Each structure stands twice: as C-alpha cells, then as structure tokens.
Structure 1
Amino acid sequence: MASNDHWRIEVAASQSPWTHPHWVEWIKWVVASYAQWTGQSLSDAGPEEFPRVLFHAPFVLVSHGKEADPVLCYGNQTALKLWEMSLSQFLETPSRYTAEPMHRDERAQLLERTTRYGFVDDYQGIRISASGTRFRIHQATVWNVIDAEGTYQGQAAMFHEWTPIGS
C-alpha cells in the first residue's frame, strides 16, 4: 500500500470508495485478521464482495493505521453516520478524537490491551460524534490488523450496539 496519504483523497472523492485498490487490500487484511483472532467471519459474503458488503453493513466497522498518533483509515457508512462525518472528514481524523478528552486514557488502555492480546471482545466505552453527540458503545470487538506477511498494520473495531447519552 502507498506510504503517503494520497489514497485518502482518492477514496473520499469516490462515489464507490469500496472499489479503491487501497480499501480493497485493507479490508482483506481487516477480514483475515478478524478471522485469525476470533475464529469468526465478519460477513457471509464471498471475499470479492467483502469491500462493498462491509461498507454497507448495518454494524459499525472502523480502523486506524499504525502511525504514532493513528489516523482513521476506514469507516463504513454506519460509522460515518454515527460519528456524523463525511468520508473525507473521517479519513483526516486521528482516532483518539473519537473519544472525549476525559475518556482518552480509557481508550489508550483498550488499544494497549488489544496490542498485547491480539483482540478484545468485551469493550464498552463512551464516544463522541463530530457534532458533540455522546454515545456508549456496547460489546465492541477490537483487533490488531496484520497484513499477508503477518506485519502489524493497525487496529480495527466492530460493534452492533450503541446508546445515545443525554438529549
């Protein structure tokens, strides 16, 4: 994959981001890593359909890269709606900004635990959208994304349930 961020602009400008070669490769790693860590599949679709099906899935699927301050590099439509961001906004966001400042230490502990064990499947926490809407995520699975050679590339998270907080 490209070492620069030019692909983010291309993906954000696309009407069908799931067709961009970067995303196709990334989602293969996300799906294979999830299966390796959990023994489960993210979808019943065939591998060639994963990018499209997961982009339109009714659950949240997000991921970030391995930068020192990781930036979001994937978010499906459900995630974009929940975080109230356009795809271009999402792909420019450091993943730590998905949590309020007071909850970032908790988030950092989750990511460290995921790094150590490969995945966790019991995470609950509070997140915040771009407009300031707070919500609690339930039973999130977070896992390390590795490439075909087994090299760490980042982390992904998936969850089906969330609850708005406040009004």
Structure 2
Amino acid sequence: MIPLHRNLAFYQLLVASHAQLLGRPLVPETMPVLEAAEWLYERAPFAVLAHNTDPDPLFIYANKAAQRRFGYSWDEIIRLPSRLSAEAPNREERQQFLERVQRLGYEAGYKGVRVTKSGQRFIIEEATLWQLLDEEGKLHGQAVVIPRTRDF
C-alpha cells in the first residue's frame, strides 16, 4: 500500500477540499501536481496533518514540518490518535474546536497548546482546520495547516 504522503488521490483530496472550503490554494498554483505533492510533504514551511473518521481518529498524514515539530517519525505519527497531540486538560477545548469544524466545514485562526512526543508543550497559532470532503461530499476526515508555532 502506498503511504498517503505519496498517494496522489489523497493529495488531491487534501488540496481540493482546502480550496473548495477556504477559497484559496494550499500549495503554489503554478507547480505541477507531482512537484506540489512532494513540496507539501518535504519542504512546505508550515505543518499539515490529517486524521481519519474513526471514533478515536488516528493521524493519517503529517508532512515533514509537522513530524519535526511534534517529534514523531512518519511510522509513529500515522499510528497516533490525534487527541494525543494535546495534553489531557486541553483535549476538551480541542474537541469543541473539532465539532465547530464539523458544523461549519472549516475554522481559521485557531490557537492552542499542543504537546510533542517527548512531552514538550508548544503553542500553535493561526491554525486552519477543514473537513476532507471528496467531490461527492463524503467525509474522509479533517486536516489542519499550522503556519506558526512557538515554545510554551
């Protein structure tokens, strides 16, 4: 099975749902698809993560910027329940944020505390979360862009 960071169908879902809901591109529009997919995973200057629709959603995608910030390898992060990216006291706030996104389709400007694999706390700023909806309107999960973080 092809990992999602190399799966062009998943890349298309990620960027098309972002463009549809937010009205702006996730990657530079002038890049060819293969180059843009690689750029988003390998070199994007912002973190991108996605989780699935399981009752306890698991991360299914994390670009290299996200892996570095959260301190996980690809194989580790794609097995991680996304709720564990926040400490227990912050999980209720995170859950309310996710529920707003389910109702509205996306939310921008989110700020919150997250935690690395080693337990270091950091703040995400100006995050945008959106629904991963395909052309038929089927929900595949949620994704987030985190343009800025800072140590706590």
TM-score normalized with structure 1 length = 0.85
User: Counterpart of 2:32?
Assistant: 46
Over the aligned positions, Cα root-mean-square deviation in angstroms equals: 1.3
User: Counterpart of 2:150?
Assistant: 163
Gaps of 5+ in 1: 1-6, 12-16
Question: Which of the numbers 55, 66, 76 marks the counterpart of 1:89?
Answer: 76
Gaps of 5+ in 2: none
User: Counterpart of 2:125?
Assistant: 138
User: Counterpart of 1:79?
Assistant: 66
Query: How many Å apart are 1:18 and its aligned residue?
Result: 3.4
Q: Trace 1:91-110 onto structure 2 (pairs within 5 A).
A: 91-110=78-97
User: Counterpart of 1:66?
Assistant: 53
Q: Trace 1:10-29 onto structure 2 (pairs within 5 A).
A: 11=3, 18-19=5-6, 23-29=7-13
Query: How many Å apart are 1:48 and its aligned residue?
Result: 3.1
Structure 1 residue runs of 4 or more that deviate by more than 6 Å after TM superposition: none
Q: Distance in 2 between matches of 1:121 and 1:84?
A: 24
- The 10-residue stretch of structure 1 (49-58 or 80-89) with the greater mean CA deviation from structure 2: 49-58
Percent identity over the alignment is 34
> Would you say 1:37 and 2:24 are equivalent positions?
no
TM-score normalized with structure 2 length = 0.93
User: Counterpart of 1:3?
Assistant: none
Query: How many Å apart are 1:46 and its aligned residue?
Result: 2.8
Residue pair 1:27, 1:50 contacting (<8 A) in 2 also: no
Q: Distance in 2 between matches of 1:131 and 1:90?
A: 13
Aligned residues: 149
